[in-house]
Amino acid sequence: MYAEAGQQMAQLHERGAQLRAAKTAQERADAFSDFYLPVTPESGQLLYTLVRATRPELVVEFGTSLGLSTIHLASAVRDNGTGRVVTTELSAAKVAAARSTFAEVGLDDVITVLEGDATQTLADINEPVGFVLLDGWKDLYVPVVQVLEPRLREGALVVADNTGLADAQPYVSYIRDPANGFVGVSFPVRDSDAMEISCRV
């Protein structure tokens, strides 16, 4: 899957103008419906490690894409012997592809894929959340984390990818404000990008 994602980079740059023209979250999801847009392999290993160490009963992911990050999360859940992953994706094409992949790799029994707007699909979660990965559209990080906040257990980890990007800065400001109940650190994962790792206190 990482090899296929790497082969898409040239095509992604060629279609950049068309993709940037998409305005709404749904338009962007449809424009990127055949692109992986994955976490890096190193980021995937970090996610696996954090889930193994914290042993959350419920992992929530915003932005399934084609499922690479979800596989890292679900593999950690499986190896822990407890827990499950709920992931949400706006692109119907990606939802179908990801579900097929999860079945193929034998992790579909610990993964629930929700299709639609994450601010709506995740609002129905009514149990404590121990781990969150934010890796969808950056301008939705704040509204998504606000939907989940009432369900975050004390000590829950919230990991946000691509926080070095300009459109993620409102989230960075929000999550670093002590008044919002988090402490954390920026963790470099690429030369010009980072993950924000935050703990609910």
Give the contacts of 150 (CB within 8 A, at least 6 positions apart).
none
Mean pLDDT estimate for the chain: 88
| pLDDT of res. 188 | 85
| pLDDT of res. 13 | 61
As given in the structure block, the two tokens for residue 6 are: 């790497």
Among 19-33, 137-151, 170-184, the minimum mean pLDDT is found in: 19-33
Residue 190: pLDDT over 80? no
d(CA 199, CA 145): 12
Q: Residue 72: which CATH number?
A: 3.40.50.150
Overall number of domains in the chain: 1
Half-sphere exposure of 76 (CA within 13 A, CB side): 23
Domain containing residue 190: 2-200
pLDDT tens-digit profile of 11-26?
666 666 666 666 677 7
pLDDT tens-digit profile of 89-123?
988 888 998 999 999 999 999 999 999 999 999 99
Q: Are 38 and 68 in contact (CB under 8 A)?
A: yes
- Higher-confidence residue of 115 and 66: namely 115
Percent of the chain with pLDDT over 90: 64
Residue 144: pLDDT over 90? yes
Buried b (16+ CB within 10 A) or exposed e, 121-146: bbeebeeebbbbbbbbbbebbbebbe
